[in-house]
Amino acid sequence: MARCSVSRVVLLLLCCMHLSAAAAGAAVYNVESYDARPDGRTDASRALASAWSAACRSPEPATVYVPDGEFFVSHSAFAGPCSGGRMTVQIDGTLVAPSGYTGSASSGGEWIVFDHVDGLTVSGGTLDGRGESLWACKAAGHGGCPDGATVRTYYSAQCTDELNCRET
């Protein structure tokens, strides 16, 4: 009986040590701490940029965290290189593009851009590009359809892409 109790205590201690090490290994920057609102209407682009900037300056691996909810994003560019090496964008909610997105000259037409970011992981969540009008135009065979919202990585971005995208 005592042996079983000792084993459980050792297992519990090992679990606690693992969780402590994992928590200490990465800084987390929640976009809501930078005034992003999960209402699907208020532009969260500046909050994302601020969270990314802080995370990118971190001397340790860092995570930009998007919690549950709908976050409207007009355009976001995430640039590196970053100080701490590995960067993670953990999305538990949904990033929503503007309706009828056609891009802009300043964004190169892209909705979300990752540039010069080595060791990037993007995981979870949904990127809602609001592609209804784009797909309807293409299905009808019309020319001059809008470009739609795109997500791109450029230059030396080496991505581990664990992104669950659904075209909507």
pTM beyond 0.85: the answer is: no
Over residues 136-146, the pLDDT tens digits come to: 888 888 777 77
| Cis omega (within 30 of 0) for bond into 146 | no
Separation of alpha carbons 48 and 30, rounded Å: 9
Class for the domain spanning 27-162: mainly beta
In tens, the pLDDT along 153-163 reads: 554 444 444 44
Spatial distance between the Cα atoms of 52 and 50, rounded to a whole number of angstroms: 5
Place of tokens 């809501």: 32
* DSSP secondary structure letters along the chain: -HHHHHHHHHHHHHHHHHHHHHHHT-EEEEGGGGT--TEEEEE-HHHHHHHHHHHHH-SS-EEEEE-SSEEE-S-EEEE---TTS-EEEEESSEEEPPTT----GGGTT-SEEEES-EEEEEESSEEE---HHHHHHHHTT-SS------EEEETT-EEEEE------
Predicted local confidence at residue 24, as pLDDT:
52
Whether 51 shows a pLDDT value over 80: the answer reads yes
Q: How confident is the model at residue 69 (pLDDT cuts 50, 70, 90)?
A: very high
Residue 99 is predicted with a pLDDT of 78
Cβ–Cβ < 8 Å for 146, 134: yes
CB 97 within 8 A of CB 149: yes
Residue 131 has pLDDT above 90, yes or no: no
pLDDT of residue 148: 72
